[in-house]
Structure 1
Amino acid sequence: MLLEFGSTILMAGVAGFAYLKSNGSPSNDAAKIQSIFTNSKWTGVNGETIRIHRKRKFQDGTEYVYQLPLGFDRKKIESEKHILEDGLNIRHKYLEFDPADLLKIKLDRTVFKQIKRILTSKKTSRKEIEMEFDGMLRIKVYNESMQDRYDWDESYLKDDTWSVSIGNTRQGTVRHDFDEHKHLIIAGATGYGKSAILKLIVTSLVLQQPNNVKLHLIDLKGGSAFQRFKDLKQTISFTRDPAEAKEILENIQVEMNKAYIEIVDAGYEDIKESGRKERHFIIIDEAADIADDSACMDVVTDIARRGRGAGYYLIYATQYPSSQSIPQQTKRNIPSRLCFVLDDAIASNTALGQTGAEELPLIPGRGIYKNVKRQIVQTPYITNKEIKKCIEPHIVIRPRKEENNEKGTETGSDTFIIEET
């Protein structure tokens, strides 16, 4: 009797599972998307609706291809991507279990408890989408959220190049090649990856180009991010003080102008064509702290405008993107951007040139990298312990004279301190 009853329940469970898979909350996404198009009034100039052309399944989800009506502005959908994503995730809490679990049920007195445990094993899934346009609108719907952490290892390095790993997508690793795209603006709220990616970039450059990279580190957040790099043999200048930052920037400008003239007068278009190996990286963390100093910002703008030819590359980071902290002239000369979550669409538009960063999930390292195209990335995470291990061979002990003994002691000998890091 118990066996027959258990078999009946087992079959009912299998049937219920099949029903949930076909008719449960994860319903037809194509129909949902079509409803969102209609409800959002995304239509052509004459009211034509967006119609699906075809769809195809891939390993992690489904791609839907749409023919857009004539006169339809595809940027409208791109800027309101969150409407699509939110619509696909309404009531997306569903029962998910392996049918094999039902076959493992023991037909004894605990059968009801076993079935209850399986049926109450609920999983909340959030679908994510990617969009691109190549004459047709392609919407990829992923059944699961993107991985929220990638631990850094040496596989992210690429020897003897100026290309660094900037993040991971579902398709693989995205790299930023400074010899191709020169400068980079980085923005993002505190705690979501800005300082972490700066440390990763510095570490990668030192490991990939130990003899050719020259670092100018301006850390206006108190030195917490760059302090560990100040004694690197590759570090030419380091400061935490806005007044000193001005002096450093002016010295960089003088050297940059000299290098630029030498390269151009030799008949070369830029440093890459000249064959010179050396590259200077001017990395400013929390640039908003020098935004009020017009002399500083004039130098920053000049580096962004002419530094590319001389091999002086600017990485300009701020957690407060505004028209003042990122001047228009600087933005125009730095099309490459990496942006983590921001508090509103205005800040996103300032940093990226478009909205979207305000819609990012609150996941450290999740950002938007915009270069030739815009991509959602998860930046690799490198621990401070790993950084220390990587850069230790490049630390040098620098002698420095005591302030009160710069002219030597009474005995005629110089006094200096050896500082061990």
Structure 2
Amino acid sequence: MLEWLAFPLAIGVAAFIPKGKMKDETVIKQIFENKGVCIKRDDVLHYPNLKKKIQGEGYTTYLFSMPYGLHTEDIEDVLPAIKEALQKEVEIEVDGLLKIDVFHEQLPKKWDYEESLVRPGTWEIPIGKNHKGILYHDFEKYCHLLCGGVTRFGKTVFMKEGMNTLILNNPQDVGIYVLDLKAGLEFYKYKSLPQVKEVACDVFESAELLNQITQDLKNRELYFREKGYTNIVDTPIKKRTFIFVDEGAELSPNIVKSKEAKKYAEFCQAALSEIARIGGGLGYRLIYATQYPTKEAVPMQVKMNIVARLSFVCATGVASKVLLDETGAEDLPSIPGRAIYLVEKKRTVQVPYIDDKMMFTMMEERKDDILNVKPSGNNPTDNRPSRNRKD
């Protein structure tokens, strides 16, 4: 019979580790024993067993076999204890074997954006730097992105970095709409760029803008049906439309005050849910950010249709669960730009820093490409004019 052993600890894990210099793998094994990470079978305790040690550039990988009955959650529960005992950054992954990466250097506390991060002709933006290199998010593969965390720790900086990259990557083919619910203080200054089609600054302007976008979405559905298209990545259409939502909680009916504003907020959430649900295949990409990651602030249809997540430090484990479907973001260090990027697995990164001055400098250097945009029709993602839907 298998049973999970959870030994109560009266004092910290570090107190159970013998003093003096110990190898990292010995410390990890000791923590497994101290925390009761094992299975009892036939009165014998079975712990994860070290199978292989691989030396990488700047990190060491330890591969453990897992006794049947242990789960990923059991291992992740002891990750903070391993980090504390080793005083190093650690990442854990379970894929058949338990893989523990121990990094010998800390991530930088700040990392400035530079134009070498641009990948012209792609829809990729740099998410951040981790110990193994620079991670990019590809909007052709993962259409939407959910972003959250407490204020002043990097959400808006990340969104500006993303907008800057998308414009430099594809100045002729990107259309950007921004719902800047901070009264337009962050993004309204970019409204003069031909790539930035509109910036809404409150719930009323957001509803009007989202009404326009959803009508364009319906027109695009008609056009795709007539052409026999299923997914834009398999068509000759080059243009993509990005909708940035900075502080989506301000579109929550539970937060706005007046009855009229509540009705507009309900429409906004329904429209954003529609974009998240059906917009990806039609060329619409949603980047939704909020500092209040609650069920009310992140509509369920938005969350369910966004695979990729980026979480900066969260105030609580509950907030982390809303963003990542699990805890962990509340344990991030209080470093602006430090975040967890989740697609197939969680990876801790330092997001590149950018400010308005840096953005305008880069765009000035590329102004011929950025300002000389070929005229397009009414449809934000295509040169063809929109067609009125017949109901």
Alpha-carbon distance change, 70 to 211 in structure 1, aligned in 2, over 3 angstroms: same
Alignment-mate amino acid for residue 43 of structure 1: C
Alpha-carbon distance change, 26 to 388 in structure 1, aligned in 2, over 3 angstroms: farther
Which is further off, 145-154 or 208-217?
145-154
Residue equivalent to 2:180: 219
Residue equivalent to 1:259: 220
Q: Secondary structure at the match of 1:164?
A: strand
Q: Distance in 1 between matches of 2:78 and 2:186?
A: 35
Q: Distance in 2 between matches of 1:275 and 1:287?
A: 33
Q: Distance in 2 between matches of 1:148 and 1:45?
A: 43
Q: Relative to total residues, which structure has the larger helix share, 1 or 2? A: 1
Alignment-mate amino acid for residue 370 of structure 1: L
Q: Secondary structure at the match of 2:321?
A: helix
Residue equivalent to 1:239: 200
User: Quick check: 1:187–1:338 contact (8 Å CA) kept in 2?
Assistant: yes
Instruction: Give the Å deviation of 1:79.
Output: 4.6
Instruction: Give the Å deviation of 1:144.
Output: 2.5
Match of 1:362 among 334, 341, 346: 334
Q: Distance in 1 between matches of 2:195 and 2:331?
A: 38
**Residue 260 of structure 2 is aligned to residue 283 of structure 1:** no
Alignment-mate amino acid for residue 369 of structure 1: Y
Alignment of 1:159-174 (within 5 A): 159-174=120-135
User: Quick check: 1:279–1:311 contact (8 Å CA) kept in 2?
Assistant: yes
**Residue 153 of structure 2 is aligned to residue 158 of structure 1:** no
Higher relative contact order (CA 8 A, sep 6+): 2
Deviations 1:169-200, CA, capped at 9 Å, x for gaps:
11111111111110100101111111101000
User: Quick check: 2:115–2:362 contact (8 Å CA) kept in 1?
Assistant: no
Alignment of 1:20-419 (within 5 A): 25-44=20-39, 46=41, 47-89=45-87, 127-292=88-253, 293-392=265-364, 393=367, 394=370
Instruction: Give the Å deviation of 1:213.
Output: 0.6
Q: Distance in 2 between matches of 1:376 and 1:278?
A: 31
Deviations 1:209-257, CA, capped at 9 Å, x for gaps:
1111111111001222212311111111112111110111111000011
Q: Distance in 2 between matches of 1:79 and 1:391?
A: 46
Instruction: Give the Å deviation of 1:26.
Output: 4.2
Which is further off, 42-51 or 134-143?
42-51
Alpha-carbon distance change, 45 to 278 in structure 1, aligned in 2, over 3 angstroms: farther
Identical pairs, percent: 34
Q: Distance in 1 between matches of 2:271 and 2:323?
A: 20
Whichever of the two has the greater Rg, that structure is 1
Instruction: Give the Å deviation of 1:25.
Output: 4.7
Q: Secondary structure at the match of 1:204?
A: helix
Q: Distance in 2 between matches of 1:261 and 1:197?
A: 34
Aligned Cα root-mean-square deviation (Å):
1.8
User: How many residues get paired?
Assistant: 337
Q: TM-score, normalised by structure 2?
A: 0.82
Instruction: Give the Å deviation of 1:395.
Output: 6.0
Q: Distance in 2 between matches of 1:170 and 1:75?
A: 23
